[in-house]
Amino acid sequence: MNLPPLIQSFVLHFGEMGSRWGINRTVGQIYALLYVSPRPLNADDIVEALGVSRSNVSMGLRELQAWNLVLLRHIPDDRRDHFTTPDDVWQILRTLAEERKKREVDPTLSVLRELLMLAPGSAEERHAQARMAEMHGLIERLTTWYDDVKRLETERMTALLALGARVTKLLDAKDKVVGLVRGRKEG
């Protein structure tokens, strides 16, 4: 690699993490390089910086484009395509979440819906469907929550995350208020 030590460490780490996230090492490295680069890079810049083949870079860029994680930029008087990442880290997070939902959660919900519509042929299948219904319900609730959260403005999402475990205090207070209101209605 032809990178300063700090950047190389970051790029190498993203490459290693890529395999855990379901992408190959080079794709992770390309993304990390684009993320920390102060300017858009073309494929030749990436080949030189990472020391990987041009075909690996081309395939990696196509994969990152399919995930909507890189932006195509045109530089005046340069016919080559240049790539960068969104500046807003929250936008990157939103894009990742949306793409993972489309590729992983939505197909699972579809399969669960189809399986729950089938008539069980045995006690074993009834038990399996009951468990699938629980899973379907949880994923549906999470999807609904996700849809609500993704519409939040970045400042609101930051505030929500800053609350952390203090949200439970808010829920405890709500439970107390609801309990008081119920007590008054019953009394």
Q: Which helix (H) or strand (E) holds 80?
A: none
Per DSSP, the three-state class of 74 is strand
Report pTM: 0.75
Please check whether residue 29 is in contact with residue 36, taking contact to mean a CB–CB distance below 8 angstroms: no
| Mean pLDDT for the chain overall | 92
User: What pLDDT, in 10s, does the model give residues 26-54?
Assistant: 999 999 999 999 999 999 999 999 999 99
Q: What's CA 71's distance to the chain center, in Å? A: 17
**Torsion over CA of 118, 124, 126 and 129, rounded to 10 degrees?**
-70
